[in-house]
Amino acid sequence: MTRRTPGNVACHACGALFTRKTWRRDHTVPLGAYDRVIWRICPACRQYARGEAFGKVVLPAAWAAEHAEELQRRLDNVAARAGYTQPQRRIVGLERAGRSVNVLTTSQKLAHRVAREIEKLFGGRATYRWSSNDGSLTAIWSPTAPRQGAAARKRTKRTGRT
């Protein structure tokens, strides 16, 4: 049996407000309601503090080191966009594991979104595996040939030459 969260709860760690049965960061506590609000830690802040991740994007370490600045900028943008309306979706951190770098996220959806954004920016291909145990997602991205510019891709499609 799960406990229901009452409607007048706010997270004192991130400022998210529980409203309409979900946590939102785009809503604020009205000035007159501060006395009636129950201040707690939201589930995402607890998950972040524990380092618990339900999504993981695996990248080659050598590639990640070479593109560190672009990669970090894209991760920040994706996390900011997702966190605005869905504060439960956050990037937990980056960890190096042998020959790979893992981007850990609080949700499967954010890991999927990160993998898609990396595909759009750098090309390559991502494969996805969902765990049957806990529903977590592991997205493994691998680069392919160096990315061509848009003009070169159009020329290749039309003429078949590079």
As a whole number of angstroms, the distance between CA 60 and CA 96 comes to 10
**pLDDT computed for residue 73 by the predictor:** 93
Whether pLDDT at 152 is above 60: no
Structural domains of the chain in order of their starting residue, each with its CATH number: 9-41 (no CATH), 51-142 (3.30.70)
- Average pLDDT over all residues of the chain: 83
Averaged pLDDT, 62-90: 89
Q: Nearest 5°: phi and psi at 84?
A: -65, -50
Q: Reduce the DSSP state of residue 114 to 3 states and report it.
A: helix
As a whole number of angstroms, the distance between CA 118 and CA 105 comes to 15
92: CB partners within 8 A, 6+ apart: 47, 48, 51, 52, 53, 104, 105, 106
Least confident of 13-22, 28-37, 66-75, 125-134: 28-37
Whether pLDDT at 146 is above 80: no
Is there a contact between 59 and 139 (Cβ–Cβ < 8 Å)? no
**pTM of the entire structure?**
0.75
> Which carries the bigger pLDDT value, residue 145 or residue 17?
17
Over residues 92-134, the pLDDT tens digits come to 989 998 899 999 999 999 999 999 999 999 999 999 999 888 8
**pLDDT computed for residue 133 by the predictor:** 87
Is there a contact between 119 and 126 (Cβ–Cβ < 8 Å)? yes
Residue 23: pLDDT band (50, 70, 90) is confident
From residue 2, alpha-carbon distances to 5, 57, 62 in Å are 9, 30, 44
- Among 104, 108, 77, 78, residue whose Cα is nearest residue 91: 104
Is there a contact between 102 and 42 (Cβ–Cβ < 8 Å)? no
Count how many Cα atoms sit within 13 Å of the Cα of residue 67 in the half-sphere of its side chain. 18
> Which carries the bigger pLDDT value, residue 137 or residue 151?
137
DSSP assignment, residue 160?
S
As a whole number of angstroms, the distance between CA 102 and CA 61 comes to 9
